[in-house]
Structure 1
Amino acid sequence: MAVYLFDEFDVEVTVPCISRALASASWSKKVSRRVAKERNMDLRDFYLHRLSAFRSYHLVYVDESGCDSRIGFRRTGWSPCGNSVSP
Protein backbone atom coordinates (compact mmCIF):
# COMPACT_ATOMS: atom_id res chain seq x y z
CA MET A 1 0.00 0.00 0.00
CA ALA A 2 2.94 2.30 0.66
CA VAL A 3 4.11 1.85 -2.94
CA TYR A 4 0.59 2.56 -4.22
CA LEU A 5 0.38 5.80 -2.21
CA PHE A 6 3.75 6.89 -3.54
CA ASP A 7 2.87 6.05 -7.15
CA GLU A 8 -0.58 7.63 -7.10
CA PHE A 9 -0.09 10.62 -4.78
CA ASP A 10 3.72 11.04 -4.65
CA VAL A 11 3.64 10.76 -0.85
CA GLU A 12 6.09 8.64 1.14
CA VAL A 13 4.34 6.81 3.96
CA THR A 14 5.75 4.08 6.19
CA VAL A 15 3.99 0.75 6.65
CA PRO A 16 3.61 1.23 10.43
CA CYS A 17 1.96 4.62 9.78
CA ILE A 18 -0.54 2.97 7.43
CA SER A 19 -1.22 0.23 10.00
CA ARG A 20 -1.87 2.76 12.75
CA ALA A 21 -4.18 4.83 10.53
CA LEU A 22 -6.23 1.78 9.53
CA ALA A 23 -6.41 0.51 13.13
CA SER A 24 -7.61 3.92 14.35
CA ALA A 25 -10.40 3.77 11.73
CA SER A 26 -11.53 0.39 13.20
CA TRP A 27 -9.97 -1.71 10.45
CA SER A 28 -8.09 -4.86 11.37
CA LYS A 29 -5.63 -7.08 9.55
CA LYS A 30 -7.18 -10.46 8.93
CA VAL A 31 -6.27 -13.70 7.26
CA SER A 32 -7.49 -13.83 3.67
CA ARG A 33 -9.58 -16.76 2.61
CA ARG A 34 -10.07 -17.81 -0.93
CA VAL A 35 -13.63 -18.44 -2.07
CA ALA A 36 -13.75 -21.32 -4.52
CA LYS A 37 -14.99 -20.45 -7.99
CA GLU A 38 -16.61 -23.88 -8.10
CA ARG A 39 -19.34 -22.54 -5.82
CA ASN A 40 -20.66 -20.40 -8.65
CA MET A 41 -23.15 -22.56 -10.58
CA ASP A 42 -22.92 -20.46 -13.75
CA LEU A 43 -19.14 -20.81 -13.90
CA ARG A 44 -19.38 -24.54 -13.18
CA ASP A 45 -21.94 -25.04 -15.98
CA PHE A 46 -19.83 -22.97 -18.40
CA TYR A 47 -16.74 -25.05 -17.55
CA LEU A 48 -18.60 -28.33 -18.08
CA HIS A 49 -20.02 -27.04 -21.37
CA ARG A 50 -16.54 -26.13 -22.64
CA LEU A 51 -15.09 -29.40 -21.33
CA SER A 52 -17.68 -31.48 -23.17
CA ALA A 53 -15.94 -30.75 -26.49
CA PHE A 54 -12.88 -32.77 -25.40
CA ARG A 55 -12.24 -36.48 -24.89
CA SER A 56 -10.46 -37.94 -21.88
CA TYR A 57 -7.21 -38.46 -23.81
CA HIS A 58 -7.10 -34.73 -24.61
CA LEU A 59 -6.98 -33.69 -20.95
CA VAL A 60 -3.99 -33.33 -18.64
CA TYR A 61 -4.53 -32.26 -15.02
CA VAL A 62 -1.68 -30.96 -12.88
CA ASP A 63 -1.74 -31.24 -9.10
CA GLU A 64 -0.52 -27.93 -7.70
CA SER A 65 -0.88 -28.84 -4.04
CA GLY A 66 2.90 -28.97 -3.63
CA CYS A 67 3.41 -25.48 -5.03
CA ASP A 68 4.16 -22.43 -2.94
CA SER A 69 0.73 -21.10 -2.02
CA ARG A 70 2.06 -17.59 -1.32
CA ILE A 71 2.45 -16.88 -5.01
CA GLY A 72 -0.57 -15.25 -6.57
CA PHE A 73 -2.46 -14.01 -3.54
CA ARG A 74 -1.81 -12.39 -0.20
CA ARG A 75 -2.35 -14.25 3.05
CA THR A 76 -3.62 -11.19 4.93
CA GLY A 77 -5.58 -8.06 4.13
CA TRP A 78 -7.30 -5.14 5.81
CA SER A 79 -11.05 -4.96 6.27
CA PRO A 80 -13.47 -3.18 8.59
CA CYS A 81 -13.97 -4.90 11.94
CA GLY A 82 -16.65 -7.57 11.68
CA ASN A 83 -16.05 -8.30 7.98
CA SER A 84 -13.95 -11.06 6.44
CA VAL A 85 -11.34 -10.66 3.72
CA SER A 86 -11.54 -12.58 0.43
CA PRO A 87 -9.18 -11.80 -2.47
Structure 2
Amino acid sequence: MPKEQYMCQLCANHGIFNQPKKGHKQKCPHRDCTCNLCALNTKRRALDQIERQLKNAISVEVKTDPTTSATTDGMKYERSNEFLFFNL
Protein backbone atom coordinates (compact mmCIF):
# COMPACT_ATOMS: atom_id res chain seq x y z
CA MET A 1 0.00 0.00 0.00
CA PRO A 2 1.58 3.34 -1.03
CA LYS A 3 2.08 6.18 1.42
CA GLU A 4 -0.33 9.07 1.37
CA GLN A 5 0.93 12.21 -0.34
CA TYR A 6 0.87 15.53 1.43
CA MET A 7 -1.14 18.18 -0.37
CA CYS A 8 -0.45 21.92 -0.53
CA GLN A 9 -2.54 23.61 2.16
CA LEU A 10 -2.30 27.03 0.52
CA CYS A 11 -3.83 25.65 -2.68
CA ALA A 12 -6.45 23.79 -0.61
CA ASN A 13 -7.44 27.13 0.95
CA HIS A 14 -8.30 28.30 -2.58
CA GLY A 15 -10.19 25.19 -3.72
CA ILE A 16 -7.39 23.14 -5.34
CA PHE A 17 -7.41 19.99 -3.21
CA ASN A 18 -5.31 17.60 -5.30
CA GLN A 19 -2.03 19.54 -5.62
CA PRO A 20 0.85 17.43 -4.24
CA LYS A 21 3.19 19.35 -1.95
CA LYS A 22 6.43 17.74 -3.12
CA GLY A 23 8.28 19.97 -5.61
CA HIS A 24 5.52 22.57 -5.49
CA LYS A 25 6.94 25.20 -3.12
CA GLN A 26 8.57 27.51 -5.68
CA LYS A 27 5.75 27.36 -8.22
CA CYS A 28 2.74 27.57 -5.90
CA PRO A 29 0.44 30.33 -7.22
CA HIS A 30 -0.70 31.12 -3.66
CA ARG A 31 2.78 31.28 -2.12
CA ASP A 32 2.55 35.00 -1.34
CA CYS A 33 -1.19 35.13 -0.63
CA THR A 34 -2.22 37.16 2.43
CA CYS A 35 -5.85 36.08 2.78
CA ASN A 36 -7.10 35.07 6.24
CA LEU A 37 -6.78 31.30 5.70
CA CYS A 38 -3.28 31.54 4.24
CA ALA A 39 -2.20 33.91 7.01
CA LEU A 40 -3.46 31.38 9.55
CA ASN A 41 -1.39 28.66 7.84
CA THR A 42 1.69 30.89 7.91
CA LYS A 43 1.25 31.60 11.63
CA ARG A 44 0.76 27.90 12.36
CA ARG A 45 3.97 27.06 10.50
CA ALA A 46 5.89 29.70 12.45
CA LEU A 47 4.55 28.39 15.77
CA ASP A 48 5.41 24.81 14.79
CA GLN A 49 8.95 25.90 13.94
CA ILE A 50 9.37 27.64 17.31
CA GLU A 51 7.97 24.60 19.10
CA ARG A 52 10.44 22.30 17.29
CA GLN A 53 13.36 24.61 18.15
CA LEU A 54 12.40 24.70 21.83
CA LYS A 55 11.95 20.94 21.96
CA ASN A 56 15.36 20.41 20.34
CA ALA A 57 17.02 22.92 22.68
CA ILE A 58 15.56 21.20 25.74
CA SER A 59 16.63 17.81 24.41
CA VAL A 60 20.21 18.99 23.86
CA GLU A 61 20.31 20.74 27.24
CA VAL A 62 19.07 17.66 29.08
CA LYS A 63 21.63 15.45 27.33
CA THR A 64 24.51 17.76 28.26
CA ASP A 65 23.49 18.74 31.81
CA PRO A 66 23.46 15.83 34.29
CA THR A 67 21.77 17.92 37.02
CA THR A 68 18.49 18.14 35.10
CA SER A 69 16.04 15.55 33.95
CA ALA A 70 13.13 15.70 31.54
CA THR A 71 9.85 14.01 32.29
CA THR A 72 6.96 12.86 30.15
CA ASP A 73 4.90 15.95 31.02
CA GLY A 74 7.43 18.21 29.25
CA MET A 75 8.49 19.97 32.46
CA LYS A 76 12.13 20.22 33.35
CA TYR A 77 13.15 19.61 36.92
CA GLU A 78 16.45 20.56 38.51
CA ARG A 79 17.83 18.12 41.03
CA SER A 80 18.91 19.41 44.41
CA ASN A 81 19.63 17.80 47.76
CA GLU A 82 16.75 19.52 49.55
CA PHE A 83 14.22 20.83 47.03
CA LEU A 84 12.86 20.23 43.58
CA PHE A 85 12.97 23.44 41.53
CA PHE A 86 10.74 23.95 38.51
CA ASN A 87 12.25 25.69 35.46
CA LEU A 88 9.68 26.93 32.97
TM norm structure 2: 0.23
TM norm structure 1: 0.24
Question: Which one has more relative contact order, counting CA pairs under 8 Å at least 6 apart?
Answer: 1
